[in-house]
Amino acid sequence: MNGARWLVQALSAEGVDTLFGYPGGAIMPFYDALHGSDLKPALIKHVLVRHEQGAAFAANGYARASGRVGVCVATSGPGASNLVTGIADAMLDSVPMVIVTGQVATPLMGTDAFQELDVFGMTMPIVKHSFLPRSVDDLPRMVGEAFRIARSGRPGPVLIDLPKDVQNGDASRLPAHRPLPIDDVPAPIDAALHAALALISQAQRPVLYGGGGLALGDAVHAFRLFADATQIPAVLTLKGLGALPAQHPLNLGMIGMHGSRAANIAVQESDLLIVVGARFDDRATGKLAEFAPHARVVHMDLDACEIGKLRHADVGVRGDIRTTLTALTLPCAAHQHGRNGAARRQWRAACQQRARDHAARYDAPGDAVYAPALLKRLSELAPDAVVSCDVGQHQMWVAQHCRFDHPRKHLTSGALGAMGFGLPAAIGALLALQTPENPDAQVICVSGDGSFLMNVQELATVARYRLPIKIVLLDNQALGMVRQWQELFFERRYSEVDLSDNPDFAAVANAFGIHASFVDRTDDAEAALQRLLDAPGPALLHVAIDQAANVWPLVPPNHNNAQMLDADEVASLPVAADASVPPKPQEVRHALST
């Protein structure tokens, strides 16, 4: 029993059933332990990815979809450094992960040995905590603490940098591993609840503002009960989508730069924001100084650091948000028929009417595939699927037009915005959800041509394990979101966004043994989607879309959320004598001001 074998058994004791990794020199004793004959049948399923970034994103997707701790493993040096983007993504989106990296033996540390990197120092800003055991005797405390910290409070990634001699050290005297209990979640204090109730009872134009903390705090059900009881219109952040079902009558949609007009205007006109598990991200608020200018704020969050960080909270309610919502539901519901009841009913009706007036349209002219309509239909054909998407225009179209009934069904790199996230995250999600009790779990990856090539090698992982992931690849032969900004704000100076030399993605998938097809006409799109979903095993649908297609609406930078542009407004701006010259940025700003 050496340190590596003890660690494998400890991971199993922590409930780890799947880990994602790639072997190398400094982590080789751990891989030997995974293969050890005395540990069969295997305690843990190891998934061999084809790049360490794929391992980090797969563990990330596993954790996002399941709520359990995702685990990834890599060797020292370049193996560890290749994990960094996935670790940073987990930190910024509060995803529970434990990362195990190999390290050179302790006598060699600090000597610039082969594949030595200071991974402990390099990752310090992007983890909740780091551990560097110097002796095999450190393992029981450090492994237990790593999982406790990853799970406790606001979740996040924890690193164990494991020297090779610690892996090989004699662990026969170590006790069997026992998981540590996670920290108790503090309950809100009564004074804060009373103050929140007082503000909510006084409001005439309140808005519920839900974020990613609803899923992290297991508070989705409590949020729905609160919304139904109080009948307060709700807006959701990118990470909060699904906290209310898309078709819920109180759901005004996503807030922010590419949010719905109904959601953004409601927030701008509100007199009270009831913020639950959200952090006033800049992509949600637009110009912060002009965000919700008439609103007081009740901010509910587990993390005290978020309350008042960006926007002053008139009442901060720190603690378990599920407990907070439950405590406030009945008292707040009683006030909906009080002295402000008529004003609230009028406010609610106005918000809902605006949502109807500005509902998305899907009747785009022409024969080309219209991405919003395709994605809307995809979510109708696969209503129970988990959707993992990459970053760019397609990410916003997924957020706007797919219909989610729980935040854990929408996996997206929110705060970091990491391209290459979608496919490996889908791998992790499927392996988390596909169980003997749920053999038909469905995971769909929606990607763009730019993002897809960043981790395209993980098609080999999909093929090796015959994971029935369905991939919808939207190909506009450009870095679409960058191109859109260059069109609107940089006078069409298109710099390094041309991807017209993309490969035949269907042929690429076929080369990995994955079924693939192509569609470029809207009349063929639904049948192509149905064939994709009906295909046994993994499959890819390569969808050609118009390179000029933009994401609308759009709040330009340094503007408030009421100053939204859509395609018609941009088209109505003055056209230069040379029709190929777009409106100048100052003309766009003038249109917004008027």
Residue 287: CA atoms inside 13 Å, Cβ hemisphere, count? Answer: 14
Q: Could you report the per-residue pLDDT of 284-294, keeping only the tens digit for each?
A: 999 999 999 99
Residue 477 confidence (pLDDT): 96
Residue 339 confidence (pLDDT): 78
Identify the CATH assignment for 3-168 out of 2.10.109.10, 3.90.1150.10, 1.10.472.10, 3.40.50.970: 3.40.50.970
Residue 172 confidence (pLDDT): 96
Domain ranges in the chain are: 3-168, 190-357, 371-544
Answer yes or no: are the C-beta atoms of 584 and 570 closer than 8 Å.
Answer: no
Identify the CATH assignment for 190-357 out of 3.30.450.20, 3.40.640.10, 1.10.10.10, 3.40.50.1220: 3.40.50.1220
Is 371-544 in CATH node 3.30.70.360? no
pLDDT along the chain (594 residues), means of 10: 96 96 97 75 87 98 98 98 98 98 95 94 97 98 98 97 98 96 93 97 96 97 98 98 96 97 98 97 95 98 96 97 97 81 95 96 92 97 97 98 97 97 98 92 97 98 98 97 95 95 97 97 96 97 96 95 86 48 50 48
Residue 593 confidence (pLDDT): 46
Residue 59 confidence (pLDDT): 98
Answer yes or no: are the C-beta atoms of 274 and 200 closer than 8 Å.
Answer: yes
Q: Strands 443-448, 515-519: parallel, antiparallel or unpaired by DSSP?
A: unpaired
Q: What are phi and psi of 509, to 5 degrees?
A: -60, -40
Rounded-to-integer distance, Cα 72 and Cα 54, Å:
10
Rounded-to-integer distance, Cα 202 and Cα 181, Å:
41
Is the previous residue joined to 574 through a cis bond, with omega within 30 degrees of 0? Answer: no
Q: List, as one string, the DSSP characters of 413-464.
A: --SS--TT-HHHHHHHHHHHH-BTTBTT--EEEEEEHHHHTTSGGGHHHHHH
Rounded-to-integer distance, Cα 45 and Cα 56, Å:
16
Rounded-to-integer distance, Cα 56 and Cα 63, Å:
11
Rounded-to-integer distance, Cα 301 and Cα 299, Å:
6
Distances (CA, A) of 172 to 5, 6, 35, 40, 136: 10, 8, 18, 19, 10
Q: Name the residues annotated as catalytic.
A: 52, 114-115, 164, 481
Facing residues of 195 across strands?
none
Q: Enter the pTM of the model.
A: 0.94
Residue 244 confidence (pLDDT): 98
Angle at 64 between CA 13 and CA 8, to 5 degrees: 20
Distances (CA, A) of 200 to 207, 229, 271, 277, 541: 10, 13, 10, 17, 48
Residue 588 confidence (pLDDT): 52
